Amino acid sequence: MIKNLKFKYIEAGEFHFGTEWNKEKFINMVNNYNVPLEWLLKEVPQKKVYLNDYWISETPVTIGMMKEFYQNNPHVQMPLVIKKHINNNDLDFPAYHINFEDALMFCYWASETLGECIDLPTEPEWEKAARGSWDDREFPWGDEIIENVNIKGQYNSLPIPVKNIKENRSPYGVYDLSGNIEEWTRSYNRPYLGSPLKYSKSLNYHILRGGTCEHGVDLARCSRRHGNIPSVFRGFRIVKRKEVNIFQNDIYSEYSEVNEGDFILARTSKLDQQNLIVDIDLNKKAYLDIQTCQSNEIKLFKGFSNPGSEILVQFEGDVGGQLKVRKPSLSELDSLLRNLDVNKIIQ
């Protein structure tokens, strides 16, 4: 089956990567999708990115392809859900419950089997294959939500066979980039170059794209970044390239030390009666007074009380012997983000 895997050619050139900041648009997304603003700010700023040509698999890697992989690599442990699908002969279902390391191992095996340079897509490669080169569409099929995309509430919130929804196709003819299963990329969670936000080193993870059958439609968007808490329904698709070195240093900012006044995407740690404790850096915790958030323009979503959630804060420094942070207001964020000079972001 692996030798019969079809690829779609993605020509060299520029495309719209990320999402342009617009306060009204982001407020609408927060309200329509019922997600925290900070989860969307990771897409900012938008810029045009040039990629060399490459090929991407028409569908995610399937159960049948993973069956071949496990047969040829008996030392790799097969997830129970994969065994169940194989026993049921569900070979056209997307493979899921796949860890990043096993997805990468599959790429090494496929490279030897096919005699080509096979890898996981980077974030830009995945997003270009989803969006195309002609506009900055919200979903692979366009800007309007289609009713039968496999997200939460559809198809019993379980995966379905690949290419089952003909409308779920990108401008390049790539299927199932939205919903069903989310897909590993090669890229780590980093702020996009030009973003004024800093990320806590505690949020160092590989990015997943595309959403799943258990998530809402927000995660099915072309530019949505995920991966902090991976779904059980996680799988991958593969790319072919002419060259091995594909990481572009002019797309991301590196992690740096946090300083007083910085806006930081932090990781929630613990909630008590008055404070939310957040990891603003490795081994550096700060306290957010939740009482001050009640009148804030940006709601303190209930989900932030769950350990490991991402939350945007401003570092106030040492206040009375404790490190303190605060929730910035929407107007502060708008002032911070609306005047970004995209021409200085990437050449």
Centroid of chain to Cα 52: 22
Dmax over CA atoms of the chain, in Å, equals 65
Q: What is the chain's pLDDT, residue by residue, as a tens digit (347 residues)?
A: 788 889 999 999 999 999 999 999 999 999 889 888 989 999 999 999 999 999 999 999 999 999 999 999 999 999 999 999 999 999 999 999 999 999 999 999 999 999 999 999 999 999 999 999 999 999 999 998 888 899 999 999 999 999 999 999 999 999 999 999 999 999 999 999 999 999 999 999 999 999 999 999 999 999 999 999 999 999 999 999 987 766 666 899 988 889 999 999 999 988 877 889 999 998 899 999 888 776 555 655 555 667 889 999 999 999 988 999 999 989 999 999 987 755 544 43
Contact 41, 22 (CB under 8 A): no
Q: How many CB atoms within 10 Å of residue 112?
A: 11
Q: Cβ neighbours of residue 190 under 8 Å, at least 6 residues apart? A: 199, 252, 253, 254, 255
The pLDDT of residue 346: 44
Query: DSSP characters for 18-55?
Result: S----HHHHHHHHHHHT--HHHHHTTPSPEEEEE--EE
Hey, which residues does 278 pair with through a beta bridge? Answer: 268, 286
Which residues have a Cβ under 8 Å from the Cβ of 129 and sit 6 or more positions away?
8, 10, 56, 121, 170, 172, 174, 177
Count CB atoms within 10 A of the CB of residue 97: 17
Vertex 282 angle, CA 290 and 344, to 5°: 90
Tokens 């999708």 identify what position? 33
Check residue 202 and give its pLDDT.
93
Cβ pair 107, 119 in contact under 8 A: yes
CA distance 289 to 302: 15
Token reading at 16: 């719209």
Beta strands in 205-274 (DSSP E): 206-209, 234-235, 239-240, 263-271
What span, in angstroms and rounded, lies between the C-alpha atoms of 199 and 190? 7
Q: Measure the CA–CA gap between 93 and 85, rounded to whole angstroms.
A: 8
Which value, to the nearest 10 degrees, does the dihedral of the CA atoms of residues 223, 150, 214, 99 take? Answer: -70
How many Cβ atoms from other residues are within 10 Å of residue 8's Cβ? 17
Show the CA angle centred on residue 223, arms to residues 6 and 120, nearest 5°: 40
Q: What is the CA radius of gyration of the chain?
A: 21
- Token pair of 40, please? 């969307």
Domains of the chain: residue spans and CATH: 2-197+205-240 (3.90.1580.10), 263-339 (2.40.50.140)
Q: In this structure, are strands 284-289 and 322-326 parallel, antiparallel, or unpaired?
A: parallel
